[in-house]
Each structure stands twice: as structure tokens, then as C-alpha cells.
Amino acid sequence: MEPILTVEHLSISFTRYGRWLSRVELRPIRDLSLTVEPGQVAAVVGASGSGKSLLAHAIFHLLPRNSRVEGNILYDGAPLTPQRAAALRGREMALIPQGVTCLDPMMKVGPQVRGERLRSSRALLARYGLGPEVEDLYPFELSGGMARRVLIATATA
């Protein structure tokens, strides 16, 4: 069976300018390889600042312009190009953000979970143990655990 995701020798670096316009090269991820088989649950664990989110952003092609990525990323056996990643995002691949600050503080939960689709957010929220009343709450009215479950429901949508 073909792996669903293969990351081979991934390195991510950033160039920034230091004092007197000197260039500094930062390499937070060096020579990382991993494979995820269909149906397998994989976890990336590490200390804060160790590059977990950078790995996810590299897979989704969401890194800033000052980044440089080396290595190969394959999805379902084919190279994951920026165009292919954009087409798959939200359809076959979803990113569940780490921080609840990704929720719009000025918008109630219901429309955020529904997004552009008219699919009911109630069913998605219920799937993660949240009642229908959560649709009418703003993110600041949620506990940390509730907000994370809303983020998961949003990624599922």
C-alpha cells in the first residue's frame, strides 16, 4: 500500500538580517523524514519552538517568503507542489491550528465552522461534544478546550 504522506530529507531555513546588515541563516528543521500510511495516526511531538508548526506549514505550502525548503514532500505518491497543496487544502488535507487565536474574535462560532458551505455547524459541533448553543457564542466566551474542539470541527468542515 502506498504511503499517504512521505516527507524525505526536509530542511527549512530562514534568512534574516542581523546587525550592520549581516545575514543570519536559521535552520529550525534539518533532514527530517517521515512516512504516514493510510489509516495510521501519527503525532509530531516536541518542545515549544522545535518546529512542529513549521513542518505542518511546509506540508501545506504556507511558509513565509523568506523561507527556503529543501527535500521532497509526497502526498498519495505524487509530489506535493504549491498548486496541488492549494487544491487539496480543505478537501483532503486540513490543518488544525495549535492556537485558538485562529478563530475570528468578532464572528460567532456557527458561521466560522460552516465557512462558505451551508452545511450545518450543529452536527459538526455535536460530533465533538459541543451543544447547539455554542453556535451563538463568540470565541472569547469559550473555554480553552471548547475552542480547540471548535478548531477541530472547522478543520473537519
Phi, psi of 58 (to 5 degrees): -65, -45
Q: Identify the pLDDT of residue 115.
A: 63
Tell me the pLDDT of the chain averaged across its residues. Answer: 88
Mean pLDDT score, 81-85? 94
38 with 1: CB under 8 angstroms?
A: yes
Q: Identify the pLDDT of residue 88.
A: 92
For residue 141 the three cell numbers come to 466566551
Mean pLDDT score, 22-46? 89
Q: Give the CA distances from residue 125 to residues 28, 96, 114, 157, in Å, rounded to whole numbers and listed in that order.
A: 36, 15, 10, 10
Q: Identify the pLDDT of residue 94.
A: 82
Q: Identify the pLDDT of residue 44.
A: 85
Minimum mean pLDDT among 1-10, 68-77, 115-124: which range? 115-124
Chain CA centroid to CA 109, Å: 19
Q: Identify the pLDDT of residue 35.
A: 95
Q: Identify the pLDDT of residue 140.
A: 92
Which one-letter amino acid corresponds to residue 32? Answer: L
Task: Give 20's pLDDT tier (boundaries 50, 70, 90).
Answer: confident
Q: Identify the pLDDT of residue 69.
A: 95
Predicted confidence (pLDDT) per residue in 93-148, tens digit: 887 777 778 888 899 998 888 765 546 788 889 999 999 999 999 999 999 899 98
7 with 71: CB under 8 angstroms?
A: yes
Percent of the chain with pLDDT over 90: 49
Inform me whether the pLDDT recorded for 78 exceeds 90: yes
